[in-house]
């Protein structure tokens, strides 16, 4: 599994960054997910107000 960000939907609000227990999310030029850190827990996808994050099989 991996977590995917759709940067067309993301407005860089930072909500997902603050809740990620693995510190896998970074806002720079758009939001990036570090596959090495991400555990695919799905928390970020549940809190994003814009539906920009999804966990894929
Ligand atoms: S799925 Fe979990 S570990 Fe991965 S980026 Fe989202 S909150 Fe962080
Ligand atoms: S919560 Fe959603 S809109 Fe906010 S920074 Fe994360 S992906 Fe972007």
Reported pTM = 0.94
Q: What are the angstrom distances between the C-alpha of 13 and each of 1, 36, 38?
A: 24, 23, 19
**Could you identify the atom of ligand 1 that is nearest to the CA of residue 16?**
7
Q: What pLDDT score does 15 carry?
A: 98
Distance 32 CA to ligand 2 centre (A): 10
Q: What is the pLDDT of residue 57?
A: 82
Q: What is the pLDDT of residue 33?
A: 97
From first to last of its 57 residues, what are the pLDDT tens digits of the chain?
Answer: 899 999 999 999 999 999 999 999 999 999 999 999 999 999 999 999 999 999 998
Q: What pLDDT score does 40 carry?
A: 96
Among protein residues, the one whose CA lies closest to atom 3 of ligand 1:
38
* Domain parsing of the chain, residue ranges: 2-56
* CB < 8 Å & 24+ apart, contacts of 46-50: 47/15, 47/16, 47/19, 48/10, 48/15, 48/16, 49/13, 49/15, 50/9, 50/10, 50/11, 50/13
| Domain range 2-56, CATH class | alpha beta
| Candidate from 12, 17, 42 with most ligand 2 atoms within 8 A of CB, to mutate | 12
């Amino acid at each position: 599994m991996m977590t995917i960000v759709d940067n067309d939907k993301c407005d860089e609000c930072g909500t997902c960054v603050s809740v990620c227990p693995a510190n896998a999310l970074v806002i720079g030029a758009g939001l990036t997910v570090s596959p090495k850190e991400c555990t695919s827990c799905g928390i970020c996808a549940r809190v994003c107000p814009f539906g920009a994050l999804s966990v894929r099989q």
